[in-house]
Amino acid sequence: MALVISTWATNPITIDGALTAPEWTGAGQMAIPAGFLKVKNDANFLYVALDLVGDLGADAGTGDYYWFTVDVDANAAITPNKDLNYAMLPGAPNLSRRQYYLGPGTWTGVLNEVTANQTHIGFGPTSSSPIPHRSWELRIKLSELGVDMSDPASLKVVRFGLRVSSTTPPFTFDFPANFFTNFSNLHTIALALSPTVPPGLAGAVIGTVGFIPTTNISGDGFATTDPTYYFPVTETAFGGSMNFIGNQVTMLALWAAGARKYKILHRVGTSGAFSNLRSSWANYHWNGSTYILEPFGADPSDNYMLTNPSEEYSIKNLLLNWNSVGEAPGIHQFQARFFRADGTTLVASTAQTVTLMVDNNQADVQIINILHNNNPVPPCAIETMTDNTDGLRFRITANDAEGHLQAYSLTAHYGDNLSATIVSDSYAAHANPAHLWNGVVNALVPPAEWVPPISCAYQFKVSAWPRVTNGYQHLGGVEFNRHVTIIKPGGLALASTAFISREFPLGMSGKKGPDVAGTSPAKLGESTFAKSGTPARATTKKAAAKKPAATKGRASKKK
């Protein structure tokens, strides 16, 4: 297996098939059959370019195609209905579709879904070769790939297998061989974890809390980032398990000045003495060839070991992982102090106090009553509407006692994956200088009756989302639901689209595949076709899929 280290996508990447200079400059790169794979990522997406310098034939439509398989749970085994293959349907080279693995060489049809994933075919010169050749760009949501940026002890890797196929010249290469029948030798992308924070945004010492620059946190502890920042938040409090990340420039200077240990000081509220905060966590350390999980914690003097800012960690310059669950809601303040290796000789650093409004308490959500002609409809009732305009009203509560509510909604769910929003509201409509919005208590909604669209079993659900972040994402919400069957006069049911389609990507005509066995070239990159100058006759009917991929010693083993 091979490993490629991704770099942070500082410049926007346009998925148009053209591998242009600023977007792919500095990308991680690995040789693949017939060319190169380039990779970057940001907080939201994995970006991959397939730079196929060996494919000089611009086959129309989907005469050229790829499969990009991901071991989503990174367990080196095919996990049914979890692991994914990204591909495209015949004739649609610019639509990214995905399908689940069901077993070795067995897949579901592609999923019917609205997706932020993108792919695009291209043909032209690139930085790898001036001779026009096939290229692809794709981007995939990291959240689909089992990556949790907030956990330093979760390795941020994407284990993948790749097929590249061409009609002219004819080749079908699998990388590694038979990856779709055996995940034990997949290749690895190590994601970039240290975001490029726009100049001047990172705080002087504690640069960010997760992805949030500390300069974007107000004096009363709420975060507001620019709407165009890759993690936009508005007047958002903090909760969950948070990572305090050192400013890279400051950490380099402190390290050069001899700082090797540090304390994190903490107090509840804005007055009184600070005390030493003790915590512990684990972080993966890159030793030059593999990641090794290292424990971190305060010594008896409450000092932590400073990590070398020139070395790579799963989360670089991680000063503190602080689990705030169970802490008092309200303002918490933090400072950092640095020392030489003796743990007592202070190394001066810029004065900084980070203030966080902490709240881990969830909102109260309830459906107090469902009302039909002002009469309560109990759970599990079968309720008959008197005519086609007859409907329901609801008494609901969606209330956050601390006032840190982001949004709430009342929704109806029925049939096959159908839903309707009955009421919804969000902080944006209530923004105020104190940053406080509680929501509603015992509110009668909507203003007029809500008319159920069809006869069906309904789930009515009140959901509330907190305006609280751990620095990487908003914390999840809470919900309360009640089920009622509604009969409409002469109501008729709607047909809906199944989530998993019966359509299959290029190269597989059914669940059991593939149609064409792939091969592995003797050489990768520009050397794949270099020797003889003649294209590999790749698609012979060798029973390549029969032979399980060899389980060689693995350099970068992980859990």
Stretch that binds Ca ion, among 160-168, 212-220, 333-341, 463-471 (CB under 5 A): 160-168
Give Cα separations from 409 to 239, 362, 377, 425, 486 (angstroms).
22, 15, 20, 7, 21
> Are 422 and 412 within 8 A, CB to CB?
yes
> Are 288 and 308 within 8 A, CB to CB?
no
Nearest to 321 by CA among 302, 341, 354, 296: 296
Smallest distance from the beta carbon of 544 to Ca ion, in angstroms?
A: 21
Stretch that binds Ca ion, among 165-173, 376-384, 456-464, 547-555 (CB under 5 A): 165-173
Task: Pick the binder of Ca ion from 79, 196, 290, 473 (CB under 5 A).
Answer: 79
DSSP state letter for 197: P
- Closest CB to Ca ion among residues 55, 151: 55
18: contact with Ca ion by CB under 5 A: yes
- Closest CB to Ca ion among residues 166, 216: 166
- Which helix (H) or strand (E) segment holds residue 7: the answer is strand 7-8
Task: Pick the binder of Ca ion from 42, 83, 151, 400 (CB under 5 A).
Answer: 83
**Burial (CB count within 10 angstroms: exposed 0-12, middle 13-18, buried 19+), residue 353:** middle
- Closest CB to Ca ion among residues 83, 402: 83
> What residue type is assigned to position 289 of the chain?
S
Smallest distance from the beta carbon of 79 to Ca ion, in angstroms?
A: 3
Smallest distance from the beta carbon of 437 to Ca ion, in angstroms?
A: 41
- Closest CB to Ca ion among residues 59, 174: 59
State which of positions 194-233 bind Ca ion (CB under 5 A): none
Task: Pick the binder of Ca ion from 42, 51, 71, 400 (CB under 5 A).
Answer: 71
Window 31-70: contact mask with Ca ion (x via CB under 5 A): ------------------------x-x-x----x------
- Closest CB to Ca ion among residues 361, 556: 556
State which of positions 282-321 bind Ca ion (CB under 5 A): none
Smallest distance from the beta carbon of 508 to Ca ion, in angstroms?
A: 19
Instruction: Determine how β-strand 261-268 pairs with β-strand 275-276.
Output: antiparallel
Stretch that binds Ca ion, among 102-110, 163-171, 199-207, 328-336 (CB under 5 A): 163-171
14: contact with Ca ion by CB under 5 A: yes
Smallest distance from the beta carbon of 186 to Ca ion, in angstroms?
A: 9
Q: How far apart are CA 410 and CA 158, in angstroms?
A: 37
> Are 475 and 469 within 8 A, CB to CB?
yes
Smallest distance from the beta carbon of 130 to Ca ion, in angstroms?
A: 18
- Closest CB to Ca ion among residues 77, 457: 77
Stretch that binds Ca ion, among 73-81, 202-210, 310-318, 479-487 (CB under 5 A): 73-81
Smallest distance from the beta carbon of 20 to Ca ion, in angstroms?
A: 5
Q: How far apart are CA 141 and CA 116, in angstroms?
A: 7
Contacts of 17 (CB under 8 A, 6+ apart): 94, 120, 121, 122, 123, 135, 136, 137
Say how many residues touch Ca ion, by CB under 5 A.
Answer: 14
Stretch that binds Ca ion, among 11-19, 139-147, 310-318, 487-495 (CB under 5 A): 11-19
Contacts of 199 (CB under 8 A, 6+ apart): none
Q: How far apart are CA 549 and CA 276, in angstroms?
A: 53
Smallest distance from the beta carbon of 535 to Ca ion, in angstroms?
A: 10
Stretch that binds Ca ion, among 39-47, 82-90, 227-235, 420-428 (CB under 5 A): 82-90
- Closest CB to Ca ion among residues 24, 408: 24
391: contact with Ca ion by CB under 5 A: no
List the Cα angle 333/335/338 in 5-degree steps.
165
Smallest distance from the beta carbon of 529 to Ca ion, in angstroms?
A: 12
- Closest CB to Ca ion among residues 79, 279: 79
Structure tokens given for 102: 């069901």
Smallest distance from the beta carbon of 193 to Ca ion, in angstroms?
A: 22
Smallest distance from the beta carbon of 165 to Ca ion, in angstroms?
A: 9
Is the previous residue joined to 169 through a cis bond, with omega within 30 degrees of 0?
yes
Nearest to 133 by CA among 118, 121, 116, 151: 121
Structure tokens given for 176: 């590694």
Stretch that binds Ca ion, among 39-47, 162-170, 408-416, 426-434 (CB under 5 A): 162-170
Task: Pick the binder of Ca ion from 10, 75, 184, 539 (CB under 5 A).
Answer: 75
Contacts of 389 (CB under 8 A, 6+ apart): 451
Smallest distance from the beta carbon of 83 to Ca ion, in angstroms?
A: 5
127: contact with Ca ion by CB under 5 A: no
List the Cα angle 195/84/19 in 5-degree steps.
50
3-state secondary structure (DSSP) of residue 22: helix
State which of positions 169-198 bind Ca ion (CB under 5 A): none
3-class SS shares of the chain: helix, strand, coil, % to 5: 5, 40, 55
Stretch that binds Ca ion, among 75-83, 381-389, 441-449, 491-499 (CB under 5 A): 75-83
> Are 92 and 65 within 8 A, CB to CB?
no
- Closest CB to Ca ion among residues 64, 359: 64
Smallest distance from the beta carbon of 146 to Ca ion, in angstroms?
A: 9
166: contact with Ca ion by CB under 5 A: yes
Q: How far apart are CA 477 and CA 439, in angstroms?
A: 14
Q: What is the DSSP string of 363-428?
A: PEEEEEEEEETTEE--TT-EEE-SSTT--EEEEEEEE-TTSBEEEEEEEEEETTTEEEEEEEEEGG
- Closest CB to Ca ion among residues 167, 215: 167
Task: Pick the binder of Ca ion from 73, 113, 299, 503 (CB under 5 A).
Answer: 73
Smallest distance from the beta carbon of 159 to Ca ion, in angstroms?
A: 8
Query: Site residues (CB under 5 A) for Ca ion?
Result: 14, 16, 18, 55, 57, 59, 64, 71, 73, 75, 79, 83, 166, 168
